[in-house]
Structure 1
Amino acid sequence: MNARVDAAIDTAVSRLNRAERDRTPVQPVRDLIGEDDLDAAYEVQRRIIEAKVASGRRIVGRKIGLTSVAVQRQLGVDRPDFGVLLDDMVYGDRADVPLERFLQPRVEGEVAFVLGADLPGSATVVDVLRATDFVLPAIEVVDSRVAGWDIRITDTVADNASSGALVLGTRPREPAEADLAGLGLVLEHGGEPVSTGVGAACLGSPAVAVAWLAGEVARRGAPLRAGEVVLAGAWGPMVPVTAPGSYLARFEDIGEVRVNFTGGPDGGKRA
């Protein structure tokens, strides 16, 4: 890596850290690292996560982003990405989650894979199913430190795949017991559907998405390990969260999970 690229990466790290520290979204980082340099974007992500771990936070898993065509269209990108899940991002079913911790939150319904064995970079869908202890219904709270969600692929990768938080259900299911590709999802707010989807929207199947992730992270020197939680990606469009309230994700044959957002509508500065 040459000195110019290294300096641009450092500046991108500082910009995104400033957004989180000051609770104010910032301009995209693609002006610094380009729109297509994924290696630079993942290096920004790595440096941000490395600093968080050094400060006492713990890596508990990974997340796959941009698996759904509907979400890709919402954000103007055409490929999946991945980020890192930290211990303080994780909430249990029906948890009260303060809006103040986010800048521009949106919610998605997903399935979480809890790994019981390591997954190599060459993992197939069969390997994923064998390595998975169980799956759980989940809601991901995505967030962006970039003002107005004005992102391209390098912006969201650098910003830890636009991670915010995750809420995990408590009903474990064996992955082989459910047709993950064929199952439907309804995400409700105030008792009304606000987003719908199907497992096949997630790269054909959530298990396919996890196999893709295994290859990507192994190639970058951080393979999936036993005990990690993997959010496999959205099944339907993201829904903006603009005020306190409850969101319920109902998955066919897997169960449901709810999140309750608390706090005032101006708890965090939002663009």
Structure 2
Amino acid sequence: MNFALLAERVDEAARHATAIEQLTLTESFSVDEAYRIQRASIERRSARGERVIGIKLGFTSRAKMVQMGVDSLIWGWLTDAMLEEDGAPVDLGRLIHPRVEPEVCFLTGRDISVPLTALEAARHLDGVAPAMEIIDSRYRNFRFTLEDVVADNCSSAGLVVGPWSCRVTGLRNAGVALRFDGREVQTGSTGAILGDPLRSVVQASRLLHRAGLTLPAGSLIMAGAATAAQPLRAGLHVQCMVSGIGQAEFTTTLINR
């Protein structure tokens, strides 16, 4: 199997906002092989000058795991080109079918290279912030298998991170609201993120160790969605509020389509 060629297909789809058919319709590969495709696509981005700044976790809710028939998290990479400025416009023209999820984002203060306990995880963090992930599957009609979504960097397209707080613990059941133009479109709790977002850092440490990777100090960890994803359209003011740590926001425009 030509992993580089499959990586090129998903990478070019993302670069040009052009939907493609699921890879698994013509190729058969395992989840482990899907991560090889994912890594190859990120290497293409790095070759273009993008810099890896952290990781994102997916399937952090039990309901989503059951829906996809899996019993473990998935994860992808974040690069500096994905990071949008808090409060600034986000161009939807570079995306195929954009959606947004409210999350929390952790900032690492120490390298993570071994599996951590919850107490150790807290000691490896320098901060937490309200955040939103912009997701955009590159597959036609937003249809994909587990292997497809992993190969596609877990649908990650962008992130907006609000002000940092030192409150990295005590987020077991903080209220979360996603608002469009001041109207609530999703509400939930950080408890939807593995029962406590800090557990995402624990899980991330295990996933990284299994892959033989180290996450350097100063990296971001997007902990996973606190609610269902909400479709985006141009002309919105989008705001995520997380009780106790603050809010993040952005507006949507349509320029490059």
Name the TM tier (shorter chain).
Answer: over 0.9
Task: Tell me by how many angstroms 1:100 deviates.
Answer: 1.3
Q: Please, which of 47, 53, 64 is the counterpart of residue 54 of structure 1?
A: 47
Tell me which residue corresponds to 2:247. Answer: 256
**Any conservation in 2 of the 1:114–1:230 contact (CA below 8 Å)?**
yes
Q: Please, which of 97, 114, 121 is the counterpart of residue 128 of structure 1?
A: 121
Distance 1:30 1:237 in 2: 25
For 1:25, the aligned partner's letter is: A
Task: Tell me by how many angstroms 1:32 deviates.
Answer: 4.5
TM-score (ref. length: structure 1): 0.88
**Any conservation in 2 of the 1:19–1:145 contact (CA below 8 Å)?**
yes
Tell me which residue corresponds to 2:146. Answer: 153
Q: Please, which of 8, 18, 38 is the counterpart of residue 12 of structure 2?
A: 18
Tell me which residue corresponds to 2:101. Answer: 108
Q: 1:41 to 1:33 in 2, by over 3 A?
A: farther
**Any conservation in 2 of the 1:71–1:238 contact (CA below 8 Å)?**
no
Unaligned regions of 5+ residues in structure 2, if any?
none
1:143 aligns with 2:164: no
**Any conservation in 2 of the 1:218–1:224 contact (CA below 8 Å)?**
no
Runs of 4+ in 1 over 6 A off after TM superposition: none
For 2:207, the aligned partner's letter is: E
Distance 2:144 2:214 in 1: 27
Q: Please, which of 58, 64, 69 is the counterpart of residue 65 of structure 1?
A: 58
Distance 1:38 1:217 in 2: 15
Give CA-to-partner distance per residue, 1:51-81, whole Å, 9 cap, x none: 11122110111111121245557x7453421
Unaligned regions of 5+ residues in structure 1, if any?
1-5
**Any conservation in 2 of the 1:138–1:169 contact (CA below 8 Å)?**
yes
Tell me which residue corresponds to 2:201. Answer: 210
Q: Secondary structure at the match of 1:175?
A: coil
Give CA-to-partner distance per residue, 1:149-196, whole Å, 9 cap, x none: 1012111110111111000102423313xx211111010112211111
Q: 1:33 to 1:174 in 2, by over 3 A?
A: farther
Distance 1:175 1:92 in 2: 22
Q: Secondary structure at the match of 1:10?
A: helix
**Any conservation in 1 of the 2:113–2:213 contact (CA below 8 Å)?**
no
Task: Tell me by how many angstroms 1:243 deviates.
Answer: 2.8
Q: Please, which of 87, 101, 122 is the counterpart of residue 80 of structure 2?
A: 87
1:185 aligns with 2:179: no
Q: Secondary structure at the match of 1:235?
A: coil
1:38 aligns with 2:35: no
Q: Please, which of 167, 170, 178 is the counterpart of residue 163 of structure 2?
A: 170
Give CA-to-partner distance per residue, 1:16-51, whole Å, 9 cap, x none: 13312442111111235537x111100000001011
Distance 1:54 1:28 in 2: 25
1:195 aligns with 2:189: no
Q: 1:22 to 1:174 in 2, by over 3 A?
A: closer
1:28 aligns with 2:22: yes
**Any conservation in 2 of the 1:77–1:152 contact (CA below 8 Å)?**
no
Task: Tell me by how many angstroms 1:10 deviates.
Answer: 3.3
Q: How many residues align?
A: 256
What is the root-mean-square deviation of aligned Cα atoms in Å?
1.8
Q: Secondary structure at the match of 1:46?
A: helix
**Any conservation in 1 of the 2:240–2:247 contact (CA below 8 Å)?**
yes
Tell me which residue corresponds to 1:227. Answer: 218
